[in-house]
Amino acid sequence: MYDTVQILGSLLILAAFVAALAKRLDQSSYLYLGANAIGSTALAVEAAISSEWGFLLLEGSWAAVSLFSLVRTTLAKPRADAASPGPLQPS
């Protein structure tokens, strides 16, 4: 089971990375950040269960940065209703 989690978590991170290198995915997009957050969190949990402390440090840090970036991106995006210009005024 742990091998499956490691492979799927790694594939999520690598797929997002390759897509970003190929200019098919923006590194600040929800998809990129979400794939990194999910993949690295899964790997961090698996590392904690297996007592692999160096791997836990790496993937835990990766997960924290990805989650922080997701929150920051979500808070920075304007709402659709706030961005609408409203009714046109006659000149």
Per-residue pLDDT tens digits for 26-63: 999 999 999 999 999 999 999 999 999 999 999 999 99
pLDDT digits (tens, 9 = 90+) for 9-19: 999 999 999 99
Distance CA 29, CA 24 (A): 11
- CA 79 – CA 58 distance, rounded (Å): 34
Q: Which amino acid appears at position 43 of this protein?
A: L
Q: Is 69 helix (H, G, I), strand (E, B) or coil?
A: helix
pTM (predicted TM-score): 0.79
How far is 75 from 85, CA to CA, in rounded Å? 20
